[in-house]
Amino acid sequence: MEAKLDKFDKKILYELDKDSSISLQELSKRIGRTKQFIHFRIKKLESEGIIEGYNAIVDMSKLGYFTFRLYFYFQNFLNTDEKEFVDFLKKDLSQVWTITRMHGKWDYAIFIGVKTITEFHEVWDAIMLNYKEKIKKYNVSLYSPIFNFNRKIFLEKTGEVIQRRYGDGEKENLDEFDIKLIHAYAVNVRQSYLELANKFKVSHDKIKERITKLEKKQVIVGYTIGLNLTKLGFQGYRVDLELNSTKKNKEIFHYCLRHKYIYQVNKSIGGANFEIEVIVRDLNHLNELIEELKNAFKDIINDVEYFGFSTFYLLKFIPD
């Protein structure tokens, strides 16, 4: 059932999706209501399951990781096989960060993070050893960089656009405390520095200094909310554009950046020519968006494919 939101709920979601670490005081200024009012509305959005979390976007390349995306389409695959497959990935392969059930061209998207090519082969060989006879086709791509934008579906006008780039940075020299802090902070960025200071038995100033450093080094590239799109009457799709030429890629990118229903552009080696992530009301809305794109770049776009995500079995922002 779609949630009923008023203008204040929508403004709060819009501001939190730009920066989910924003203080109540600053949020109060931007919305034009009291801190008590804002706090009550946020708690209501949480209790209704619309807001599912407050997360840091961590550039895993700065921690020395490469991200690979694996697509699989299975044959003779039963429900019991699915459970066994997901359990195998979760329990036996620590490099697996995300497992997504899909509908359309692919059955599963699996994202893995590795530090060496040898480590990638260990994961790949384990999957092939256990499931090769059931895999009809697959695709492997190096997944970076990613250009993530704040979602603009909440307001009538586009408003401010925040761009977060990650996945292709140089490894930073981080110490053990930085890594532990990232693990503790990235999963809930609305916890106070004092809470983190008590958890690590250090000063408030040390927590603030380290988080500021991680932001400055672009290890943390932004802050966003986990959002239940279904409760807002939306659904997410990946749209792949096959292009005749790359000469207008910058134009397509800036078109996507400003578009109300496009929130991410993925660059990959081994994937489509141009990949975008969209949020739409339904399949008709998706087709309208695709036609709009094709008309805007009719001399460039040769073909379009799309597929949706139905279930996230595993979603890690950082590795265990």
pLDDT for 168-210, tens place per residue? Answer: 999 999 999 999 999 999 999 999 999 999 999 999 999 999 9
Of 121, 126, 60, residue with least CA distance to 89: 126
Q: Count of CB atoms within 10 A of residue 130's CB?
A: 14
Residue 2: predicted pLDDT: 79
The phi and psi torsions of 71 (rounded to 5 degrees) equal -105, 140
Residue 312: the pLDDT is: 77
Strands 262-269 and 51-58: unpaired
Residues written for the chain: 320
Closest CA to 147 of 297, 250, 235, 285: 250
Nearest to 117 by CA among 147, 95, 132: 95
Note the helical H segments in the chain. Answer: 7-18, 24-31, 35-47, 79-92, 117-131, 176-186, 193-200, 204-216, 249-258, 283-296
Separation between Cα atoms, residue 261 and residue 306, nearest integer Å: 15
Residue 247 is classified by DSSP as T
**Whole-angstrom distance, CA of residue 30 vs CA of residue 19:** 12
DSSP lists the bridge partners of residue 37 as none
Task: Please give the Cα distance from 59 to 219 (Å, whole number).
Answer: 5
Q: What are the residue ranges in the chain where pLDDT is below 70?
A: 317-320
**Number of H-type helices and E-type strands within the chain:** 10, 11
Q: Are strands 235-243 and 108-114 parallel, antiparallel or unpaired?
A: unpaired
The whole-number pLDDT of residue 316 equals 75
